[in-house]
Amino acid sequence: MKKVFGIAAMLLALAACNKVETEVQPVENNEGIPFSATISVGNNTDTKALAESGTTIVATWAVDETVALIHNGVKDEMTVSAVNAGVATITGTITGSPSNGDAVTVIYPASAADGTTGNIKADLLYEQNGLLTGAGSIATNYDARKGTGTLKVSGTTASLNGNMTLDNQFAIFKFTTKNSNGSATIDVTSLTVTTGGQDYVITPASATYTLYAALPAISGQAVTFTATGSDSKTYTASKASVTFAAGKYYQSTLKMTEAKAVGDIVFSDGSATAYTSGLTLTDEQKSKAVAVIFYAGSASDILGAKTLGVGLKNTNDETTKYLAFARNASGTAEGYNTNITAIQCTPSESGDGKAATATFTGDLDGSDNWTALCAAVNDEGTSGNYPAWEWVNAYATTANLTGEYASGWYLPTVAELCMLYRVKATVNAALEAAGGTKIVDNYYWSSSQSSSTNSKAWMVKFDNGKLIDTYKGNKWYVCGVRAFN
């Protein structure tokens, strides 16, 4: 199908993939009758009207293209034999003893059909080459269209009952990759778009800053972009809530930042320096250091696709080094015995060394655990009821942080705390280089309540990796973490 696309500008100011299966072949049937019908392009192919008025996606059929005709558990391939004013005539042989009025589905291109199911292949978009036209491009492989109707069988010939309209099944994007402030383009050798737990990988034949992609429609979902630059560096961008529709064409500028790695020291302007043995920072650099990265994961990793850092200070800096999860003296806090399921995270194993090997179920992300705790109790406003949480909530003030990093700090889940334990040596070396305070070889509180005992919560011991749930009134060390781009 030859296509001419109009553009409606849409800025996403932001800042494992399965191979396409071999096409299921049509059911072999030596019998068949001639088939001829007309199909047309759907009328829902206008672009999302955001900036440019009247722009449209125009699609025209080309002779010799093939479509899949699916009926009665049979898949036949038909060929576009003629095109007239945007309406294509498809011809071929229909098999499987068709009857008048049988339900039929038509899918373009034929290679996009998932056997005889009448659906588009689920993995069709997982691997793309970033081209709009040409071999293996959106125009030839991924601009999938689908229509349904009924068969018209008369004697020894068959057709469709009326002209069938095939509608677009995906949104089409033109991505332009740029640096974080948009001042320069970044040539990339791959771009992975992750949404809904699925990766869509675009791999151009050569490095480029312009890539086209077909993506399934989504509504209000988070989208993460990960690119490998021609300089071999990794760049990322993300958007918390994105909506786009099938049959629309979007032009999106991705403002990407160089991805941070475990051990990187993050500064107040968002930049980072990789830690290497012997690294020396100036006093000015140390004054601007904010955190050290301890987790940089992809969608398939324990915590998913995110980057987390630990603050340069922890309660080892404080006069009062040990804090309780919840008060159990001089008046017990409500949260001490409350069953708060929203903050429960359960390790697969506990005991000495298990912080290095455990997997986790339940709440893995601690960024909203204080909100969940507050929703379950009525005494969070009383100072001293939740000392560990209160220290983290005030961390930005304690660490003299302003701007972007003056918020977002939280008490990590037990899963997040175990990720920190697993890279403790690297993180501590980087903390020391940045003028921060090391994570000491002792217990640190997580924000994860035990699922078996309301009055207990999980903690990790940083000398031997002991995983244990203990009473919330016990006092131990506390550190704060947050997400980083």
425 contacts: CB under 8 Å, gap ≥ 6 = none
Domain boundary among 224, 259, 294: 259
* Amino acid 258: pLDDT: 84
Tokens found for residue 393? 């909530």
Residues 61 and 139 in one domain: yes
* Amino acid 233: pLDDT: 87
Whether 278 maps to a domain, the answer reads no
Domain boundary among 259, 275, 305: 259
Computed over its alpha carbons, how large is the radius of gyration of the chain?
Answer: 29
Residues 249 and 290 in one domain: no
- Quick: pLDDT tens for 392-443: 999 999 999 999 899 999 999 999 999 999 999 999 999 999 999 999 999 9
CA 449 from centroid of its chain's CA atoms: 27
* Amino acid 58: pLDDT: 63
Tokens found for residue 444? 């640190």
Average pLDDT over residues 371-396: 97
Residues 171 and 80 in one domain: yes
- The domain in which residue 309 lies consists of 283-483
Please give the Cα distance from 383 to 389 (Å, whole number).
11
- Beta carbons of 427 and 442 less than 8 angstroms apart: no
What is the chain's mean pLDDT, rounded? 89
Residues 291 and 435 in one domain: yes
Whether 265 maps to a domain, the answer reads no
Phi-psi region at 310: left, alpha or beta (left = phi > 0; alpha = psi -120 to 50): beta
Whether 432 maps to a domain, the answer reads yes
- Report which of 284, 311, 7, 39 is spatially closest to residue 166, judged by C-alpha positions: 39
**Number of structural domains found in the chain:** 2
Whether 277 maps to a domain, the answer reads no
Please give the Cα distance from 415 to 358 (Å, whole number).
8
Residues 212 and 299 in one domain: no
Residues 254 and 293 in one domain: no
Whether 234 maps to a domain, the answer reads yes
Whether 272 maps to a domain, the answer reads no
Domain boundary among 259, 275, 304: 259
- Quick: pLDDT tens for 90-119: 999 999 989 999 999 999 999 999 999 999
Is a pLDDT exceeding 50 seen at residue 20?
Answer: no
Residues 335 and 197 in one domain: no
Average pLDDT over residues 15-44: 53
Residues 68 and 146 in one domain: yes
- Quick: pLDDT tens for 167-178: 989 999 999 999
pTM: 0.62
CA 44 from centroid of its chain's CA atoms: 27
**pLDDT greater at residue 461 or residue 85:** 461
Whether 268 maps to a domain, the answer reads no
Whether 276 maps to a domain, the answer reads no
* Amino acid 42: pLDDT: 67
- Quick: pLDDT tens for 172-207: 999 999 998 899 999 999 999 999 989 999 999 999
| pLDDT bracket for residue 1 (50, 70, 90) | low
Residues 328 and 188 in one domain: no
* CATH number for 9: 2.60.40.2890
Residues 43 and 123 in one domain: yes
Residues 5 and 143 in one domain: yes
- Report which of 146, 192, 178, 212 is spatially closest to residue 5, judged by C-alpha positions: 212
Nearest 10 degrees: CA dihedral of 97, 101, 105, 106?
Answer: 80
Residues 297 and 249 in one domain: no
* Amino acid 340: pLDDT: 98
